[in-house]
Amino acid sequence: MFRKTLFILAMAPFSTVFASAIDFRLGSEMAEITYKTEDASFGYGGADIGMGVFFNEDDSLLATGTILVSGSGQGDVKGIHLGVGAKVYAGVLDFPSPMDNQQGGAVAIGAQIRYVFPGRAPFAILLEGFGAPDVTSASDFKGVKEIRLAVELEVTPSARAYIGYRTLEVDLTDGLVRNDAVELDDRAHIGVRFSF
């Protein structure tokens, strides 16, 4: 029941709001879909808002919500885009024994830096990271760490392709697994982002 509720909450924007972008990300052991939109009422450069669902081959499921306030550089560094914000995680980590399954949530803060190289075919490199300590985590979660590096290519004005690498780790409150940190993702991925 908890998983179904997470999935419905994460997918709600698809049925109630016309998306400005949809991001599909695939790795050898995981998949993720995120709805993204922009809100010009936040700060000078506006805010990127995202809601998504992550799942892996172990049947672990995370719903995520992100808000990232961003802006562009000035002068000779116009290609640099900086962002700071927060990310909410809520989900269920699946283990071989149902008695060992862990569920919880966390609120992380983070930052993003993206550099767009000059040229006819827009090409960019992105680095972002989010971290949640024990104090902003709930239930069985006692922390979340996520770091992602990606290289992006704008295929058309409304489609962007990328290849990247991410580590996503959840710390747990007890010793039901051999160590108290579970890696949900630690591999390369490919993805596409479609704007509408």
CATH number at residue 190: 2.40.128
Our count of domains for the chain comes to 1
* Secondary structure (DSSP) of 112-165: EEEEEEPSSS-EEEEEEEEEE-GGGEEETEEEEEEEEEEEEEEEETTEEEEEEE
Model pLDDT, residue 61: 95
Phi, psi of 10 (to 5 degrees): -70, -30
Name the residue among 38, 47, 42, 36 with its Cα closest to residue 13.
36
Coil, helix or strand at residue 59: coil
pTM: 0.83
Name the residue among 117, 124, 121, 116 with its Cα closest to residue 162.
124
Q: What CA–CA distances, in Å, run from 122 to 118, 141, 155, 191, 192?
A: 7, 39, 8, 16, 15
Name the residue among 21, 24, 48, 33 with its Cα closest to residue 158.
21
pLDDT tens series, the chain, 196 aa: 455 444 444 454 444 344 489 999 999 999 999 999 987 555 555 688 999 999 999 899 999 999 999 887 665 567 898 999 999 999 999 876 665 788 999 999 999 999 998 877 789 999 999 999 999 999 999 999 999 999 999 998 899 999 999 999 999 876 554 457 899 999 999 999 999 8
41 near 53, Cβ under 8 Å? no
Buried b (16+ CB within 10 A) or exposed e, 121-142: eeebebebbbbbeeebbeebbb
Coil, helix or strand at residue 71: strand
Q: Structural domain of residue 35, as residue ranges?
A: 2-195
Model pLDDT, residue 76: 58
Phi, psi of 41 (to 5 degrees): -80, -5
Task: Give the span between the Cα atoms of 47 and 123, in whole angstroms.
Answer: 22
